[in-house]
Chains A and B, each alone.
Chain A
Amino acid sequence: MRAPQPARRLLRRLRAALLPAPGQALVLALLAVVLGAALVSAPLMVGSAEAGVWEEERARQPASTVGIVLTSSTLPGADVPEPGRIGRSTAFDAAVTAALADLGLGRPVSSTRLRDPLVVETADVPLTSQLLSVTGMAGQVEVTAGRMTDDGVLVPQRLADATGIGPGQSLPTRSVATGAEVVLPVAGVYVEPTVPLPPYWEPFSGLLRPRFDPDRASTVLPAPVVLAPPALAVRLAQAADADLFLQWSLGLGPEATVDQARAVADRVERLEVAMADPGSAVTAAVTADGYPRPVPQTRLPDVLTTVDRTVALLAPPVEAAGTGGGAAAVALIGAWAAQRVRRRGAEARALVARGMSPARGALSATAEAALPVVLGGVAGALLAWVLVRVLGPSADLPADVAPRALALLGAGVAVAVVVVAVVTATLLVRLDRAGGPVHRSRVRIPWLAITAAVTVVVGIPVVRGTADSGDVLPLAAPLLVTVVAAGVLSAALPRFGSGARGGLRRLPPSLFLALSRVLAGRGAARLVVVTTALSLGLVVYAGVLADSTDRTTAAKASVAAGADVVAPLVRRTGEPGPLPAGATVVGVESGVTVAPGDVRANALLVRPDELAGVAAPLDPLAGPPLADLMATLAGYDGDRVPAVVVGAASLTERELTVRFARAYSLPLEVVARVDAFPGQRSREALLVTDGDRYSAALEAAGQDPALLLEQEVWATGEPEQVLAALTAAGWSYNPDQVTTSAAVTGLPELRAQSWSFGYLRAVSLAAGVLGVLGVAVHALTQQHRRTAADLVLARMGLHRRSAVAASGLETGLLTALGAAVAVVVALPASALVLRVLDPAPDLPPGPLFAAPVSSIGALLAGALLVPVLTVALTGRAVRRRSGGQVMRDAA
């Protein structure tokens, strides 16, 4: 159905006002897409990084450590049980629970555990058992006989089997500490949870997890745990005259977002204040009965600190890249506005002749630009949202990101529209004041010389390696060098052209035309070469930065961590069980002195036959293959201790002596030297030696290696599984000191640089696409300018296809020149800048170069696409034009 007449008229008026030239509007909309995407992607990326760090850190931490745990007991300083105080723990529990709930933290899982075990007599040997009460446990255990009631306990199947006691019966026990007889009314029998423990039982892993018994050389089950309802547990504690350990735990849901985590951390801070309030019920109970004041324990603030640190490091470069991309898009929109006035110069002149003011012209341009800019900006924002969610660190974005992104989008759109208005008004003012014949200024600015001078000034610190990582200017050096190289090359084109003029005449017409135009090296051709080299050079540069950072990060993680999992062992006298598969023990001696030169160093005592299969592989640029090094170490047949010297330029002698205080002095022989080695956690010198030979030498020197050396287990695999296997095998380690390669990769400095350069690569790819499109559009513009000349050539016999092919070839050659400069110049120049971009200088090795294969592939694809696109666009333009009109327009 056709729209009624007034409606159609209104639509036509709106179209005339808002969309008079759809082709130009489409170009503007594409620029606005880039503007919106660049501006909005920056805050989205920062938000995504914030959520991504949170998710990664959260995944690395045991669930219980990120949650909140408060502990107390009925045990006062006097260490004397008092039944009244034990009984009032119920009220104390209620007060703490209420304090947590009042602050919106939710209802905690409260648990009480009898301080001293209970002894249960069985037919064989007496069994000790633990009495535990946990709120909500009814749904967390599988009851095989009887049921959970308020006046009976659940005993594990193991205890029921050993005692022959079942539901409805009583289990006589006595307290280990006081000897008091305690009768447990049995309500049911449950199945003990097994490893890996469900999250609910994780806080009680000390009671439930099997452990290695060195005496039996096998894994043994823990003491049976009797589960009691809270009120009954208190009554039984009173009966046993034994104190209770109290614990409240609040887990953070597995799907908790970073916003929710921040809210919880904030509430935990307020919780401490609330519970310390003199008027609070908790303080009253603490004061009256001497309960230890419960203090929230959580690693949540530490995790959030890591999140904040990463975001603080990542935000400036990401925002700079996003703002730079947005500024470039705004500049292009300004160029669009200028081009709009020029392309519609006749219209502008006519309107100015009829008295249109620049303000009115600007208003008209603004109305025309508003729709494409708004729609393009919104489309760009949506594109950025999708890309960041799909390709960014996390798909979940914090809540505060959207307002910031929308504000930036609004500001960007407003600035773009204002730029269109200002550029239009300025050009109309010039048109209005031109008066008569306008003569171009004869003053020409020597851009190439100026850029070259700036490049030299900026590049010297980069080449000499004296630039600081905090300096911003050296980062521009690769792009400046690329621009200068492209400028010099394009300026030299006419010289090549004059020499090759004779040879060109023998070429086919299309090739002759294309090469003649390229070698003429006119301003437009030079501009194409320089801008193509710049945009594609940015793609290469960003690719080098991103890929090199990833490679450097992986190498640093390999070197700093040593292996997937490194667990420092607690010094112990007993022999632990066998090592899990894919693990080895490495001895560590820190702070030895190496002579000659008295160089301070650390020593790693390795098992050469095991280490190569366990340690993280070394990047080829960071050192030779580990297997070769270990073979060299193992193959030594001298009478000294063989050693690989790592990262110590001053230790040049082949034979060294290592001393540790006044304890010992050992002769070493250097069998290899490398720059980096797994387990090298600082820039100090590292000696990698054969552990058996080193220990033997120590024993020969009258020292006990077990007393002198620290030991670590290095293992491959997932940390949780490795640590569980170590625990099960009886290896004792300090969980807080366990290192993983993922933890090193997750260092804020490394992660922030990796992500920010990844983002820069995405922005640069957009710039590359714009550059490619720009070249194609430029070719089309050239074709419009040459319509009359082409028509003359056609009337002289040049086939239309040859004219189009010449245009495509010309553009392809210019783009290829730009691309060649981008690869040949920007690639090595980017490698120089890498030296000043070490995100963690304290961790060896230094920055490693990685060729951005994917970026170069994209660049080549783009360079190939340009002539194809040009042929398509110009072919269409050539088919559409009419000869008569062309000659009339030319007149």
Chain B
Amino acid sequence: MRPFEYIRADDVASAVGLVSSDPKAHYLAGGTTQIDLMLKDGVLEPERLVDITRLPLRGIRRHGDVLHVGALVTMEELAADVTVTEQLPLVREALLGGASTQLRNMATIGGNLLQRTRCRYFRDPTVLSCNKRSPGSGCAAISGAARMHAILGASMHCIAVHASDLCVPLVALDAVAHIQGVGAQRRIPLADLYVLPGDRPDVENVLQHGELLTTIEIPLLPAGTRSGYLKIRDRSSYEFALTSAAVALAIDDGVITHPRVAFGGVGTIPWRSPEAEAVLRGASVNTQTFRAAADAAIHDTFTVTGTAFKVELAKRTLVRILQTLTEAG
């Protein structure tokens, strides 16, 4: 640990100013990723840490059919929210499956959305080749022991997975992020926030340095929509996803309507699948349909020895959650 300056911000504007003005400054919220990366792994070495936990970015408010979630709402608070519990099972299930109770009580929604990858090649500074950490240095994971890695949006440059469970249902739901910059605000659809690694894996999103995620808007699902999140992993708990899928759909007279599909554990970014949705939309409820949707979703994969099994596992994950949702009721 290198010495760093710690500042507790009193309001949003000064927090944004403090970080924007200093390229070596980072925000600190729940700290469940930031502190690991600083103290345990030695990957991040900010010279200034701006604590935003006292900013007025808490609270969950419903405006019509949209839920406004403050960036400092904890995972546990969002999972327990009545609206989420009643109307967004896919969000609740992703949150509950996403972390242990202790972590859910510390980790914030903003931090979850902007978490860094779990790739052990990124998180170990003694590994010299990591394009995400040191642009142009290569990717050690490609020839390494990759298992918890991406098969979609991946390339020779980077196979680090975006590990958030929560983001998977949120991109499926067309959530929108509110971003506060120095003197300016903007709204970005969550799906547009993340950037495919391409040949610049160090660039993970469209945010400028110092821009602060303040609120996330989650559109609610129409009445009668079924939704769920299925996470497949080795352990029953406390592990990131090998594969996961978030799905919402309605069934009208035996036909699927309003399908929403996204994958986790397989993409370098949270992976919305319009291809799967196109297959499902208007199709009848049967396993052939589901399999066709899965085949449409998982294409152009980039696999290495340790991740090849995920192609089939991701497809089966989608098929299973579709079966489960359509069997119920």
Bound pair: A and B? no
